[in-house]
Structure 1
């Protein structure tokens, strides 16, 4: 059975590198680590879902129809302005968002302020990138740029804006470039958690239709399920005639060989006739 175009578009693949996989279209992976936190469904605004820590200091918002798909903030208390904000756009794989939400879920307690710590150095936030072999690239004054070996992802640190950090992946463009932006107050170890998820070599699963045509040649696609066995094509009338003729010739050949072998093996053995013995001539009797 051959795949139709529609079947191929809905087929699932393992996609690597993951930072080029794009969004899966669902928020479940990003919300997985905080699934036990309070959920607030908002039907009327652009933000469709907010998941908060039990004390409401951490807020994770999902904007299902916007360019900026995720907005995550942390504050001193439930009513204070955010200390920091992280924004992930609609092309960012949710598995990278999961890196940050998992770190927040691990650190939050009612008495903890780890997720509010003031940043010390931008270098900590991109350490996973350097560990994965990414290199610094030329950048304009007051900025730092780090690029992946394939040139398709990187990090941009703007020290003119108090070391705000942007992680990016994919060709420039609305439908192809993934971006995650962290304001200057974001603790570097939390940015590092997202950076580690960005360089994770484990592939992610996507349907073929989720891979942008401009990105498809940059990724490795491995089918989740192997190809189903394909039926052999039906023989043509000419094939049928050829098969029949070949079979008839084979039967005839076998029949002839069998007859010859039967004759050889079943012929009765006849003893050879005795050789004739020459008669002894009669000699005349002598006269006395």
Structure 2
């Protein structure tokens, strides 16, 4: 699988870029793993680790287009799951799949991709706290998710939010269900175009932290301007892929250049020509003697 980003504008911050409509960037870290293309069913492509303990599904027509899970062994029940919706940039999903791939390669030492998460909530979002994102505690009965698309309530919660309020993380501290979605990472405006990544309670903390850290990456990503939702474009910084051509000069601009050129030519002419240059010695005016 090869991936070449396409677009005509660079979007920054990258978490406001929305979908690239193909999702290939998320699979680059694991493009050497076994891949199965499915014709029937909601899952259109399935990538698994060579031992089939990690499963990365692409559901291109669903709200959650990436569904990722891991198990103790291939035949055991899922230990944790992660879901990334259709507005979540594939370049950020790649941070999660890259961390998974590194964990699997290091499995001879320890199966860290199925280890129990830290009991301390801050380990999940430490990169954001280190970057100065604001935190606050909220009571229960707080709805998570974009309006009209996904919601639930429990709590109490910890909210960690970007200084400009365009991205954040919600962590449910009250859930005791091991399969409950307890961490929501979001970016963008509320509503249909909000990017969401949801993680169940047993998702290893370092995998969530790797995704959160990707929010801080200042590198812009390519998108086609006409495909970028207006709600995102109004919040993001857009830079054309190629600088715009300078405007054609007006008649007044042409006149100014001509006058400037004539003035420079006049000033650059020598005062004395070779035929009129004075001699080295001249006769002093009458009544004055020449001085040495």
- Scaled by the length of structure 2, the TM-score of the pair is 0.73
The one of 148, 153, 157 equivalent to 1:143 is 157
Offset of 1:136 from its aligned partner?
Answer: 0.7
Larger Rg: 1
Offset of 1:137 from its aligned partner?
Answer: 3.1
Match of 1:114 in 2: 112
The one of 216, 222, 231 equivalent to 1:214 is 231
More helix by share: 1
Residue 104 of structure 2 is aligned to residue 105 of structure 1: no
The one of 145, 150, 165 equivalent to 2:183 is 165
C-alpha separation in 2, matches of 1:139 and 1:152: 19
Q: For the Cα contact (< 8 Å) 1:100–1:190, is it kept in 2?
A: yes
Q: Deviations over 1:34-89 (max 9, x none)?
A: 00000010111111001000000000000011110100000011121111000000
Structure 1's consecutive aligned runs of 4 or more residues displaced over 3 angstroms after TM superposition are 109-112, 228-233
Q: Deviations over 1:145-189 (max 9, x none)?
A: 111011111100001224821100111112x11000000000000
Q: Tell me which moved more, 150-159 or 160-169.
A: 160-169
- What are structure 1's unaligned runs of at least 5 residues? 1-9, 236-242, 244-288
Q: For the Cα contact (< 8 Å) 2:137–2:157, is it kept in 1?
A: no
Match of 1:196 in 2: 213
Offset of 1:200 from its aligned partner?
Answer: 1.2
Secondary structure, counterpart of 1:64 in structure 2:
coil
Match of 1:224 in 2: 241
C-alpha separation in 2, matches of 1:78 and 1:222: 45
Offset of 1:230 from its aligned partner?
Answer: 5.8
Offset of 1:231 from its aligned partner?
Answer: 5.9
- What are structure 2's unaligned runs of at least 5 residues? 1-5, 141-155, 256-292
Q: For the Cα contact (< 8 Å) 1:22–1:210, is it kept in 2?
A: no
The one of 46, 51, 54 equivalent to 1:50 is 46
Q: Deviations over 1:207-238 (max 9, x none)?
A: 102321122221100111112466679x9xxx
Q: For the Cα contact (< 8 Å) 1:14–1:206, is it kept in 2?
A: yes
